[in-house]
Structure 1
């Protein structure tokens, strides 16, 4: 379960919007008399039902794979939290994974009196202000919770979903919605509906105080998140009275410390009613059958009047509002404008405004600031919600540049919108690129379901016709409309938030009372779980890749020296092309610098700006990425522009010209980015992990030093770019063009040498053998502590893959796993924790162990002890193992590797020295493996072994003495971690 920070990004219109004429609703009827609405021109062919009790059902059929993506949203989030109980919707989201009186319990009759007692104690706790008395009450809560937990079955919801082969069980809460999501096998529909109908029937708030501890952890993690602090400061200034700005989704510290189970239950009764909820599905099913099943499952729900949040309108913003946020991360500035609710009628214009400003290729910020290297990086983002819209500009400063200078540059680009100082032709390209994105969205079930979710949350579904016609609306937007819009709304009425580097003295950590670990009853199963697991599931046979049949092969080049790996796209006019060159950063440290330099170069035919516009006009995207062993040049777009796009990319790489001013600016920007990386705890932790695996010289710090970077010349970098296609490479293609025609087109547009250059020698990094416990530490100003266990183990052996995959699923890979149940559900030590036996990329590398827990610094020793206990002695749970095995089989039965993923799966297998679909071996081995196999594996590879503990924390909170208990401590400098 998680909280979604930020605002809801949507492409929809309010029901009352005054828009150009769009497609009219039509009506159809399913067998059984279920009436639905649909649109004749809808590429998703979605059906919109409203059941008798008011429940909305949205269905989109997509038969590309035997799976279904589902959302069950309610139109209530933090906006509808009572001002006296903020964070309540988010609490409830967590608790809806805890079961009902039918599942999640061993004996409801014995559990209920204890839960009632806990309810009453929390109400008493909520109303008590004397700290000594509060501690006494919480001790009673803790004791009663321990007794109640003896009758609870932790994570039974997750076990139910895992047993049917569901993936990604999760939920999120934001301002106007709480949404529960699942990705299920198509043949699990009956089981899914049985569980979901029961889930929302009468949720029980069991194991509350340990889940509350997880919410505390989530809140404290947010205090270390500078981006979230910027967001909250922005919204508070933009909305001085509206709940968008006056209460956050997680809630205030004070309210978190004083929860009310009575208020949570009242909230559920008020908003979780059918006329305020929906069931959304996209995937492989018969809609006529599905609607009848949904109606039957949720018919028990009774319609109730719902009063949603209806605030008094905000007063106009008439002056610039300035805020500051402090923290350890790099400095940045954000400028945000508030739009009135009625702006929805001009939503196509607003999107066009944003795209003209920033579209990652040819927007005003893209060309005039990013490509001109006037700032370190910047962009814009439109955000539309039910009551208001927000448009934000953001930028990061170069070395020696002030945030006010970045702000001035961003506002300078806004002024160009007002005066019409922009290329009108780009507007046509924006429409073409939006069309491409629409096609890409419809390729997967999630993209389809997400569009339906947007329509439901903002308008109950009535805005869907406008969503479908948005491309046509964009095409009708005029330059004058853009100017009028900018002059009306983009005035000195914005909020500017300066994110400055420095100590945040306003942080108030959530002090959490001590709790006693509770029972999780891993082996227990409720009758309801058994009943659901006994429901029949139709047979779905797995489909394995046959690399010889599923991939067509061809040859191009003067001597047929370039292999083409081809998969046909029968569905649409999109292509994806890649050139895969067996030369990466392990061969040349110049590659990542050269690929960055390319973005600022011209040719004899095109300026750098013209190149960006030309690619954007073709609705084509390209990027170059260098991993350790490969550089991949990717190009995607509309097939009708394939030949032009390929030729343009070749022209750019072969003919790019030196730009000394751009190189000088690039060096400065890279140096600033490097300095910023040293302020990023995620980057620091990544460097620690690489150091733990490989030692002081490792792939992460295998970079040019700052002095080497400064000494680089254009000639060196151009040599890399001009000769990139002179090295051996493979061509990877997914698209509609036949293989023979593709070969002809590539031969004409893609220049290849008569003889390829020899790839430079590879820098080899040998994985360490951990001989004794060691601690690698990096000091960082934060509330949390980030802790990783690292150990290299055995040489890669493909025969081990079935055991590894089952072990990961059972031990630490999901919310039903041993690690999550023990460390979060039972001991409440962390919001996030997992463990994995990692599979290497190459056959000449080793397996490794990685385990993680993010915990409060005051729980550091408990967290380390908890994970160590699991690593050293694999707990036995026959029921959990059976759940893992059944779930894995159902997932493998319904997984379909499609499109160019087929080719990349094959290339991954080649790197591992195998020529078959490894999933098949795992599938055939699952039923043959038991706990004894996993125990032997864990004892051999994990138990009682020396690990390297990687810790990022504040030295003020986790001291050298704390660290020294777990091995020899090495405090790494940032130069040692990053290599510069």
Structure 2
């Protein structure tokens, strides 16, 4: 490949006989390994003691591992989690690498706009590492070795780079004693995890991308903004809440009044080192994404020239406070928020940040709108419809672009789950449905319906 003798090293038709022979030998070793290993031993031990919901998630800035355990099995959790950090065993590494590759195919390669969104990320972030997809590029997944994974583990999975959160019914004194007994066995890492040196350079001119995908015509507009904890972040977050939702400015203006779009949304995303403010709109039948784009700019211009009314601003603050309260009543969301905040600026910000949002003024919103919403600071993606053989799921019609993408991602996850895991996933969805904010109820109902259909389908296949 490096000598330009073949175009694609992953194309089986271009492999030499020796290359294919080595691949066959390697596959035979993987098959032999799979016959010797007791599968799912870790999760089976948990579930046999009444635990449930064991899973993990990864974002740009952190990875979470979580599980629900009975209150009287707290020591089991400390023992198991500390042991897999103290004595890591990367069983079936290369088989699991293929599982991750399959996740990429389901969530990115097989979705209508997945690969285009990756390309848009790479276009938007010129120098920042946020231009890299969380799951990795295909060549990364094909090339990473077990030795490289172990080196990564030793650096990032050391006690000096970990945070644990316990939420629920337990004795704090007992938990502290167990933490010292079990996690205290693990030596600190040899060095601190490196922080990214490269920051995003200032953008000097507008960037644009045009794509044809099997999706409704739509537009995405991104502005470079600020990372988590920046002094301007509260104003940008509140601004997003003013624009977003069924009662927000974008939906009222573009969907109800002008009738140029079927959905419209916007909001601030502050990561650990960088940030962005994104606007989305899906064109109504007979209208164009360019019309939606101009309508979005008109709403941005209002924010830059007019002060938000006192009543409108207070309504959004009240909604934000109520949403945060409902969210933190659920053990899982409280755990997630504590860990996410600790990965950024510290878990204490769960208490110190709300007053910052309450103190945002109309003048603050007007100021940040003029600071960050400039043509040279944005990137625009225009999606045109590419006709497909199959119709789009009609249940997605009432959701905005961000919600549809979330549904597709969860649908891809559901397709990879077994019957027992799927049943557990559905049970968690149904339990948390009453705590979902009103603006997300439609999306939740669609996901629950899809999960029920998938569970019935898997059950029928197993009979």
Q: In which range does the TM-score fall when normalised by the shorter chain?
A: 0.7 to 0.9
Closer, same or farther: CA 480–419 of 1 in aligned 2, 3 Å: same
Closer, same or farther: CA 815–677 of 1 in aligned 2, 3 Å: closer
1:243 equivalent among 119, 129, 134:
129
Q: Deviations over 1:262-291 (max 9, x none)?
A: 111111111110010011111001111101
Aligned equivalent of 2:351 = 468
Closer, same or farther: CA 230–170 of 1 in aligned 2, 3 Å: same
Query: Partners in 2 of 1:298 and 1:204 — Cα distance?
Result: 17
Structure 1 position 279 matched with structure 2 position 164: yes
Aligned equivalent of 1:678 = 391
Give 3-state SS (helix, strand or coil) of 2:457's partner: strand
Preserved CA contact (<8 Å) 1:431 1:475: yes
Aligned equivalent of 2:173 = 288
Query: Partners in 2 of 1:329 and 1:499 — Cα distance?
Result: 8
Structure 1 position 203 matched with structure 2 position 203: no
Closer, same or farther: CA 136–237 of 1 in aligned 2, 3 Å: same
Closer, same or farther: CA 482–190 of 1 in aligned 2, 3 Å: same
Aligned equivalent of 2:384 = 500
Please, which runs of 5 or more residues in structure 1 have no aligned partner?
Answer: 1-124, 505-675, 685-783, 789-808, 818-839, 841-847, 853-866, 872-941, 943-980
Preserved CA contact (<8 Å) 1:155 1:816: no
Give 3-state SS (helix, strand or coil) of 1:181's partner: strand
Q: Deviations over 1:561-598 (max 9, x none)?
A: xxxxxxxxxxxxxxxxxxxxxxxxxxxxxxxxxxxxxx
2:46 equivalent among 161, 175, 185:
161
Deviation at 1:475, TM superposition (A): 2.6
Q: Deviations over 1:530-576 (max 9, x none)?
A: xxxxxxxxxxxxxxxxxxxxxxxxxxxxxxxxxxxxxxxxxxxxxxx
Q: Identify, as 1 or 2, the structure richer in helix.
A: 2
Query: Partners in 2 of 1:218 and 1:335 — Cα distance?
Result: 27
Query: Partners in 1 of 2:104 and 2:387 — Cα distance?
Result: 18
Deviation at 1:409, TM superposition (A): 0.2
Aligned equivalent of 1:325 = 211
Query: Partners in 1 of 2:143 and 2:96 — Cα distance?
Result: 14
Give 3-state SS (helix, strand or coil) of 2:295's partner: helix
Give 3-state SS (helix, strand or coil) of 1:387's partner: coil
Deviation at 1:682, TM superposition (A): 8.2
Aligned equivalent of 2:445 = none
Query: Partners in 1 of 2:255 and 2:50 — Cα distance?
Result: 45
How many residues of Structure 1 are paired with residues of Structure 2 in the alignment? 405
Preserved CA contact (<8 Å) 1:343 1:389: no
Closer, same or farther: CA 479–200 of 1 in aligned 2, 3 Å: same
Query: Partners in 2 of 1:384 and 1:409 — Cα distance?
Result: 25
Per the normalisation by structure 1, the TM-score is 0.39
Deviation at 1:186, TM superposition (A): 1.2
CA RMSD of aligned residues (A): 3.2
Aligned equivalent of 1:267 = 152
Query: Partners in 1 of 2:140 and 2:208 — Cα distance?
Result: 28
Aligned equivalent of 1:76 = none
Aligned positions of 1:767-806 closer than 5 A: none
Structure 1 position 367 matched with structure 2 position 80: no
Give 3-state SS (helix, strand or coil) of 1:330's partner: coil
Q: Deviations over 1:126-145 (max 9, x none)?
A: xxx96433322222212222
Structure 1 position 451 matched with structure 2 position 337: yes
Preserved CA contact (<8 Å) 1:370 1:378: yes
Please, which runs of 5 or more residues in structure 2 have no aligned partner?
Answer: 1-9, 398-410, 425-451
Deviation at 1:160, TM superposition (A): 1.2
Aligned equivalent of 1:258 = 143
Aligned equivalent of 2:303 = 417
Task: Work out which of the two has the higher radius of gyration on C-alpha atoms and give 1 or 2.
Answer: 1
Query: Partners in 2 of 1:367 and 1:787 — Cα distance?
Result: 33
Closer, same or farther: CA 814–500 of 1 in aligned 2, 3 Å: same
Aligned positions of 1:130-529 closer than 5 A: 131-221=16-106, 222-245=108-131, 247-304=132-189, 305-341=191-227, 344-361=230-247, 363-372=248-257, 373-420=259-306, 422-461=308-347, 464-465=348-349, 467-492=350-375, 493-502=377-386
Query: Partners in 1 of 2:362 and 2:265 — Cα distance?
Result: 21
Deviation at 1:680, TM superposition (A): 3.9
Closer, same or farther: CA 231–291 of 1 in aligned 2, 3 Å: farther
Closer, same or farther: CA 785–215 of 1 in aligned 2, 3 Å: closer
Q: Deviations over 1:659-700 (max 9, x none)?
A: xxxxxxxxxxxxxxxxx992349879xxxxxxxxxxxxxxxx
Closer, same or farther: CA 414–212 of 1 in aligned 2, 3 Å: same
Deviation at 1:208, TM superposition (A): 2.8
Deviation at 1:397, TM superposition (A): 0.5
Closer, same or farther: CA 258–470 of 1 in aligned 2, 3 Å: closer
Deviation at 1:200, TM superposition (A): 1.6
Aligned equivalent of 2:421 = 814
Preserved CA contact (<8 Å) 2:161 2:193: no
Query: Partners in 2 of 1:325 and 1:156 — Cα distance?
Result: 45
Closer, same or farther: CA 426–298 of 1 in aligned 2, 3 Å: same
Query: Partners in 2 of 1:471 and 1:481 — Cα distance?
Result: 16
